[in-house]
Amino acid sequence: MLVSAVICATVCLVRLEGQDSCINFDSSSLTREGGWIKVAVSYPNDYTNRLDLFSCSDLIKGEWRLVLTAGADLSAHRTEWIDPESLVNPVRFYAAGNADITPATDPDGDGLPWAREVFFYRTSPTDADTDADGMPDGWEVSHGLNPVENDASLDADHDGLSNLQERQFGTDPSQADTDGDEMPDGWEAMNSLAPDNSADATQEDSARDGFTNLQKYQMGVDSGVFVTNRAFGEQEVKVTTPSWRGP
């Protein structure tokens, strides 16, 4: 449940009850410093986690920004932040949450803390795959994908693997060549190679014709195709070309 405390006509402080109930805004949380708003967040003496602070100007749009991630100052038991937008935006909202991943802050186990899911990513803190596209929210966020839009079938890096297939193969959907062996992830997968292991680039391919997998890719032929002309010319199929390896 969200609990809010209206401090003045134009500023509101918000916190999460339960998951982050030990993080508090109080009557001294907001002060003016040179016309700017300074926000202070307090926490218990034994609190050793990191804090996230969020700001927003329009609750209808719900466009919260993650403005600060800081370790707890155990000597002061407070974290302070001066809002640079408070002079130009007359209406301001603030929220705070635990930035660390614990069973309490990440109940769905997707790698995102509760407060970031609610305020920043707008994902469900109790559903590891908010958009039901087969990719966990945390994995999508860490790889630059959209956790609230089904983008499983897209190919963000144009390597021949969909985003979902990249997740299944353990490759990076933002890098066409995850293992850096000069062979695209999709080509490696289609040729029964390991797109997350660069060692197969220098290995002789399955045709056993003296060429490596990388050389076969550079020739423009599949691994497993027997090449008779060492000048990369005439080709003879000696073995069946490999089929899709699958994740």
User: What confidence tens digit (pLDDT) does each residue in 156-200 have?
Assistant: 999 999 999 999 999 999 999 999 999 999 999 988 889 999 999
Identity at 51, one-letter amino acid code: L
**Pairwise CA distance, residues 67 & 62, whole Å:** 15
pLDDT confidence of residue 79: 83
Q: 10, 32 in Cβ contact below 8 A?
A: no
DSSP 107-137: TT-SS--HHIIIIII---TT-S-TT-SSS-H
- The pTM of the full predicted model, rounded to 2 decimals, is 0.77
Q: Which residue has the tokens 């002079």?
A: 87
Whose tokens are 């926490």? That residue is 43
Contact 202, 195 (CB under 8 A): no
Residues 6+ apart with CB under 8 A from 212: 201, 202, 203, 204, 205
Q: What is the dihedral of CA 74, 78, 84, 89, to 10 degrees?
A: 150
Q: What are phi and psi of 81, to 5 degrees?
A: -150, 135
Domains and CATH numbers, the chain: 2-98 (2.60.40)
Beta bridge partners of 92: 11
Strand 11-16 and strand 50-56: the pairing is unpaired
Distance CA(83)–CA(106), nearest Å, equals 28
Alpha-carbon span 135 to 125, nearest angstrom: 15
AA letter at 135 = M
Q: Cα torsion at 135, 138, 140, 146 (round to 10°)?
A: 110
> What pLDDT was estimated at residue 210?
83
Q: How far is CA 226 from the centre of its chain?
A: 42
Q: Which amino acid is at 7?
A: I
Distance of CA 198 to the CA centre of its chain: 24
The reported pLDDT for the residue numbered 18 is 55
pLDDT in single tens digits along all 247 residues of the chain: 233 333 443 455 555 555 566 677 654 566 666 678 888 888 877 777 888 889 888 888 888 999 999 887 777 788 888 888 888 887 888 888 888 888 888 999 999 999 899 999 999 999 999 999 999 999 999 999 999 999 999 999 999 999 999 999 999 999 999 999 999 999 999 888 899 999 998 988 887 888 888 988 888 888 877 877 554 444 444 433 444 445 5
* β partners of residue 204: 212
Provide the pLDDT for residue 125. Answer: 94
pLDDT given at position 13: 56
